[in-house]
Amino acid sequence: MKKSLLALAAMGAFAGAAQAQSSVSVYGIMDGSYTATENATTTTGGTKTTVRGRNTVNGDGALSTSRLGFRGVEDLGGGQRAEFMLEYDLVNIGNGGNGNDIAVAEAAPSTATVASGFGVRESWIGISDAKLGGLRMGRQEESIHAVIVGNLAGAGNNIAGSLYSSGMNAAANAATVRPHSVYLNQAITYMSPVVSGFQVQVQTSQNAYSASESTRMTGANETGGSVTYTGIKNLSVAYGIAHLGFDTTSASTKAFRQALGANYDFGVARVFAVGTQNKVDNKSTGVNLSDTKAYEFGVNAPVTTVVNVFGSFFTGNRDSGTDNTTLDNSQTAAASKADIGGFQLGTTYAFSKRTTAYAIYGQQSIKGKSAATNAKIESTGYAVGLRHSF
């Protein structure tokens, strides 16, 4: 009897020790704002069409995308551990946070056009070794994503005026020029340990995008990676690259994307710079469809211990080898020769480490510059909001 009790106690102690080496955490962001947008398209003939949008408790969040996530880590011993991440976009916290317009969903729950469930973000499982690095499998951020967003003064907020601006809030941001796709489906990513300040990522996917993302079709493939250097105090430098092949409704195309970015903290302010290229060719003929090069510069500075300000501007151009008559903001379609540019100003006030108030204003444009096309697309937006992380 005593031996049985001792055995049970030992087993209980072992189980407790094993459980202590693994953990699962819940985290997230709630970001709500009043947002105003204005998108104007002017044709070659001078006809101007303006679409204005107003949004209270702005859906996806203006400073940060609202989200809910789960992280898990298990210590396997010997410097190894198993990991996972499952993260959802809270598509519209003003409407319930799950992507549905509640009234429409209740009136017609079987309607195919009614959005259902959380928005997709990251979903991966992996294993890492302190000496060898880590391997992750599943939906993940593109390696080039951190190179771009990590070197923007506005840190990838969702308001017009930055290369990253997606225009997902209220009316579509017609002048968007985002040079990458953020996420890859079915991706495999290797991340090296940091050696002498350098870290390398290598990434591949044979089914990189779903049919609903942009104009790409299922089956798109991508191979890319990045190199980051942080070996000098206050300095970070990174380079990322991505090669894509995909089919659209009109053509089979391939794309080459690259980004080089850096930021340095002077103490009184941190300065940022990033240069990007997004080149799209016809996969069969090799003819260039569009080649967009853009550069963004910014500064982020603390005014007090709780007040921060940031500002940035970007400039660049889009060239086309086949079409000089159509102004287009698509990453895959042929587009005219055009100048692109924009600027953004913002401020944040930290009530605490978790709760921040903010205000952001920005403008950006695509302006045709060929003899056949002097049309333009212009977008303006501002937001005043509150973000809480947990």
Predicted local distance difference test score (pLDDT) of residue 273: 98
- Return d(Cα 151, Cα 63) in angstroms, integer: 16
Residues in the chain: 390
**Sign (positive/negative) of CA torsion 109, 114, 118, 121?**
positive
Identity of the residue numbered 264: Y
d(CA 149, CA 147): 6
> How far apart are the C-alpha atoms of 283 and 276, rounded to whole Å?
21
Confidence (pLDDT) at 289: 80
Please say whether the structural domain 23-389 has been given the CATH code 2.40.160.10. yes
In the chain, where does DSSP find H-type helix? 2-20, 102-107, 143-149
Q: What is the pLDDT along the chain (390 residues), one digit of tens a residue?
A: 444 444 444 444 444 444 447 899 999 999 999 999 888 888 777 788 888 888 888 667 899 999 999 999 999 999 999 999 999 988 778 777 766 554 444 444 444 444 556 788 999 999 999 999 999 999 999 999 999 999 999 998 999 999 998 644 434 556 888 888 899 999 999 999 999 999 999 999 987 665 444 444 445 789 999 999 999 999 999 999 999 887 655 557 788 999 999 999 999 999 999 999 999 888 777 788 889 999 999 999 999 999 999 999 999 998 876 554 556 555 545 567 889 999 999 999 999 999 999 999 999 998 888 656 678 889 999 999 999 999
The H-or-E segment that residue 87 falls in is strand 80-89
* Residue 233 tokens, joined: 């105090």
| pLDDT at site 334 | 54
Q: Please report, rounded to a whole number, the percentage of residues in the chain having pLDDT higher than 90.
A: 54
b/e code 87-113 from CB counts within 10 Å (16+ = b): bbbbbbbebebbbbeeeebeeeeeeee
Q: Is the Cα torsion angle 40, 41, 46, 49 positive or negative in sign?
A: negative
Residues 6+ apart with CB under 8 A from 147: 226, 228, 238, 239, 240, 259, 260, 261, 274
Query: Closest by alpha carbon to 345, among 298, 295, 275?
Result: 298
Q: What is the pLDDT of residue 81?
A: 96
Separation of alpha carbons 268 and 301, rounded Å = 6
Supply the DSSP symbol for 44: T
Phi–psi pair at 94, nearest 5 degrees: -70, -25
| Rounded (5°) CA angle 351-355-357 | 70
Q: Which of 181, 167, 70 is nearest to 122 (CA)?
A: 70
d(CA 109, CA 152): 41
- Phi then psi dihedrals of residue 124, to 5 deg: -145, 160
Q: What pLDDT is recorded for position 299?
A: 98
> Which of 276, 266, 357, 361 is closest to 312 using CA atoms?
361
Say if residues 228 and 199 touch (Cβ distance below 8 Å).
yes
